[in-house]
Structure 1
Amino acid sequence: MPVTASLQILPVSTSAQQTQFLDVPWLVYQDDPHWVAPLRSDVAKKFEPDNPFLQYGKYQQFIVVQDGKAIGRVVASVNDRLIEKENRKIGFFGFFECVENFDAFRGLMQAAEDWLKAQGMVEVRGPIDLSTHNNCLFLADGFDSPPMVMMPYNPAYYIEYMEQLGWQKAKDAYAYDFPLDVELPDKFEKGYHIALKAGVTFRPIHTKGEAFEQDCISLYNLFTKAFEYNWSSTPRTQEEFLEEARSLQSLVDPDVFPVAEYEGEMVGFFMGLPDYNIPLQKVNGKLNIPGILKFLWYKRQIDQGRVIAIASLPKFRRKMVPIGLIYLGMRGGQLKGKPYKRAELSWVYEDNDPSRKLIEASGGTICKTYRIYEKPLA
């Protein structure tokens, strides 16, 4: 599909084109000091035939080529579970990257829209990499620092180009900053003790052996219940969840990952993770032997962490479980000998008022804004 005399959109169908697809980010961000290269093997795995997503969805990769070189990429996808949940034929675009070239950007978006229309979709939403459990959102504000671990990053012109093309904001999300040299308000410790009196117990997550596997299954069940009604989201399979959990097993700091239990059942969790983007920024997307050595060396520089999620079953919110988890998670990051100077809680949708009130009451301030777009397919 020619875009201009020098630009052509190609569906990815060969191993050479797949290599070009994977190479695009290194061209886009070659001069950006804040970019953290994704692990190339992790991205490639998403397009292997055994990806569980293919049990309930389909996708098509595209690249835009100039003078034989890929300068942009996009993936159009259909998630049948989301269509069933929302009762509307909504498709996604994701894995988007493009150099600062409006014609190339527009051509990629048009290719994604055309493919989705051919699948019978009436609306497109993104960026979402197959699922909101993967990478999603464009950074819309806060370009002056690197992203935290497992958070997106992109050039500012993405937002400008999207609006020029007539895309509408579907929803914003926020990242919140927490300095760890400030104590939480007293009501958080009081809430923790109220939860204890109600029969709730708290402990660090297990990180080894059979206990880790069982905790992961409990986390999966709780995560699925707690976020059942999240916008634009459908549950992962247990297989998908456990695969990701195992990939993060060696990275977990149990002091910032407390769980809550009631009568032996996990009823809440505070999912904190050290900011491994700090060493990952040094390995350039490859955990080969030199990459592993660099990772281990620069791992010592980690001085911040990300709070990925705080969850509780609804009936335990009245027993102060979320308050207690925040108290323990933040206190865990402040223990003597811990390196953390700040934490980021990310991300929270703009219309999630209960969570935002709780986060802001605990001292969080918005530090970055992210955006998902929508567009009808005429």
Structure 2
Amino acid sequence: MICIEKVINQGDLHDFITFPSSLYGDDPNWIEPLHVERKEHLSEKNPGTEHIEWQAWLAKKDDKVVGRITAQIDTLHRELYGKDTGHFGMIDAVDDPEVFSRLFETAEAWLTSKGARKITGPFSLNINQESGLLVDGFETPPSALMTHGKPYYSSRVEQQGYTPGIDLLAYWMKRPELHFSPSLLKLMSEVRQKVTVRRLNRKNFAAEMQVLRNIFNSGWKKNWGFVPFTEHEFATMGDQLKYLVPEDLIYIAEIDSIPVAFIVGLPNINEAIADLKGKLLPFGWAKLLWRLKVSGVRTARVPLMGVRMEYQFSRKGPVIALLLIDALREPFERRNINAVEMSWILETNTGMRSILEKIGAVAYKRYRLYEKQL
């Protein structure tokens, strides 16, 4: 018998957060997220919960957890795409079709009770947080704030009637192999005369974060499934970036003193927490701080990048993106960061994909977003 239980208390939440550690115990590429971070993510401390209503469930067999799932309603998403939308997320389960069927039946029943008829996912908890089901690239560990998965997940999800909506790509760039062709260098030199690339001003950090938010919401607003960041969400993200990202890894591009694009380079936290098994006590904090601030990590991720919409289809837009990527090369080299993940990139974003591939980046992971009409 498969029993589906609603997550209703802290004990249930603990089981929900720690279940993947048993599921992925034999996977050398699994990196367990920090439990304290996951607990805050699934609480009112996550500013996204101001516009997201969600519920989580556990699947149990013989009193043992064998699966989990969430269902969510995002009011900001509904304002843009209709009052009948809903989402699923954080799906993890043993390879048992009955477990997947019962989990999705439960999540879909809850979504239906909220008026949902169009379901997309997985999101944890919306598209501006961890998104997509890994379908290619299982042989390497996930970068910071990216998901992992099991190869059988995609077929099990599709058996529930879900079809591919769109794919998200992660690109890998080895810094020593990064190269700009003579023609690209010429374009960059021409545009650099009209564009100023500067570091984010830490003395005015809160205001600068809202500058980044405005650029992001402008640049991404026509993308698949876009939901704007709220001021509170970006401010909270800023509080986290302030401690995790060195001051020379956030750059803003300006034209005539007006911000038009930005990039954020995040040291790969997953590399630093790989052996902590999700725990910061008793010595995890010290190890994490030492690795991030002293010994350093050898990889990084660009989790946030944006170019204002009015420049994306101009001759300057792609070159501005190149100038921002180029701005990270020197600080990466100084910190002995040898490789960086650019993620995620919509498969339909041929402009950015072309830029990355021209300078030596390779698409090495693919994440899929699914959809279903109820």
Q: How do 1:329-368 residues align onto structure 2 when only pairs under 5 Å count?
A: 329-330=325-326, 332-334=328-330, 336-368=333-365
State the partner residue of 1:157.
152
Q: How do 1:227-246 residues align onto structure 2 when only pairs under 5 Å count?
A: 227-246=220-239
What's the CA shift string for 1:304-363, capped at 9, x where partnerless? 222224321233453625424424534533565331222221111111222222222222
Matched, 1:196 2:192: yes
- In 2, Cα distance between equivalents of 1:54 and 1:298: 31
- In 2, Cα distance between equivalents of 1:307 and 1:186: 25
Q: How do 1:1-378 residues align onto structure 2 when only pairs under 5 Å count?
A: 5=1, 7-49=2-44, 51-87=46-82, 89-182=84-177, 183-198=179-194, 200-206=195-201, 208=202, 210-299=203-292, 300=295, 302-317=297-312, 318=314, 320-330=316-326, 332-334=328-330, 336-377=333-374
Per the TM alignment, residue 30 of structure 1 is displaced from its structure 2 partner at its CA by 1.6
Per the TM alignment, residue 40 of structure 1 is displaced from its structure 2 partner at its CA by 1.4
The number of equivalent residue pairs is: 369
What's the CA shift string for 1:196-215, capped at 9, x where partnerless? 322x2111223x4x322222
Residues 27 and 133 of structure 1: CA distance in aligned 2, closer, same or farther (over 3 Å): same
Residues 102 and 330 of structure 1: CA distance in aligned 2, closer, same or farther (over 3 Å): farther
Q: Are 2:5 and 2:58, in contact at CA under 8 Å, matched by a contact in 1?
A: yes
Range 161-170 or range 141-150, more displaced: 161-170
| TM-score, scaled to structure 2 | 0.91
- In 2, Cα distance between equivalents of 1:257 and 1:184: 21
| Paired amino acid for 1:99 | V
Q: Are 1:124 and 1:375, in contact at CA under 8 Å, matched by a contact in 2?
A: yes
| Paired amino acid for 1:376 | Q
- In 2, Cα distance between equivalents of 1:201 and 1:278: 33
Q: Are 2:104 and 2:160, in contact at CA under 8 Å, matched by a contact in 1?
A: no
Range 288-297 or range 36-45, more displaced: 288-297
* Runs of 4 or more above 4 Å deviation: none
- In 1, Cα distance between equivalents of 2:108 and 2:291: 42
Secondary structure of 2:227 counterpart: coil
Q: Are 2:261 and 2:307, in contact at CA under 8 Å, matched by a contact in 1?
A: yes
Give RMSD over aligned pairs. 2.1
What's the CA shift string for 1:193-240, capped at 9, x where partnerless? 322322x2111223x4x3222221211121121112222121121111
Secondary structure of 1:344 counterpart: strand
Secondary structure of 2:124 counterpart: coil
Q: Are 1:127 and 1:137, in contact at CA under 8 Å, matched by a contact in 2?
A: yes
- In 1, Cα distance between equivalents of 2:92 and 2:369: 15
Unaligned 5+ residue runs, structure 2? none
- In 2, Cα distance between equivalents of 1:225 and 1:357: 21
Secondary structure of 2:32 counterpart: coil
What is the aligned-residue identity percentage?
27
| Paired amino acid for 1:97 | D
- In 1, Cα distance between equivalents of 2:164 and 2:35: 30
- In 1, Cα distance between equivalents of 2:345 and 2:253: 21
- In 1, Cα distance between equivalents of 2:88 and 2:247: 35
Range 95-104 or range 44-53, more displaced: 44-53
- In 2, Cα distance between equivalents of 1:376 and 1:315: 34
Q: Are 2:172 and 2:363, in contact at CA under 8 Å, matched by a contact in 1?
A: yes
Residues 213 and 84 of structure 1: CA distance in aligned 2, closer, same or farther (over 3 Å): closer
| TM-score, scaled to structure 1 | 0.90
- In 2, Cα distance between equivalents of 1:327 and 1:262: 13
Unaligned 5+ residue runs, structure 1? none
Per the TM alignment, residue 287 of structure 1 is displaced from its structure 2 partner at its CA by 2.7
- In 2, Cα distance between equivalents of 1:118 and 1:328: 46
| Paired amino acid for 1:343 | V
- In 1, Cα distance between equivalents of 2:51 and 2:84: 14
